[in-house]
Amino acid sequence: MKVLKKINAFSAAKVLGILGLINGVLLYIILKLTGDVSAAAMTATDVLLLIFVQGITWFAAAFVVALLYNLLTKYIGGIKLELADHEK
């Protein structure tokens, strides 16, 4: 059993930032496929801005969570991980 004591905050933030951008692009594609979204009254510029803001928000959220985890591990301990042994 290994204990995860530290998370690279920048790496975690990059991964979630990229996932946020992918999520935003998928949202944009869905909005385009459904036709005009008159109820939301969103233009293409609004949706592109949403994608950008969503990526930044996910990046910041992951960064903050990783930093908090790194600060609190000395008080609460790390996460215990059981890694599988791969037999060849």
Structural domain tally of the chain? Answer: 1
Does some domain include residue 35? yes
Contacts of 66 (CB under 8 A, 6+ apart): 7, 8, 9, 12, 13
Task: Please state the rounded mean pLDDT for residues 14-41.
Answer: 73
Does some domain include residue 83? no
Does some domain include residue 87? no
pLDDT confidence bin for 66, thresholds 50/70/90: confident
Does some domain include residue 29? yes
Which of 68, 65, 61 minimizes the C-alpha distance to 17? 61
Q: Quick one: tokens of 8?
A: 């690279």
**Residue 79: strand pairing partners:** 4
State the pLDDT at residue 39: 47
pLDDT at residue 5 is higher than 80: no
Compute the residue count for the chain: 88
Q: Domain of 56?
A: 7-75
Least confident piece of the model among 9-13, 38-42, 56-60, 75-79: 38-42
Does some domain include residue 86? no
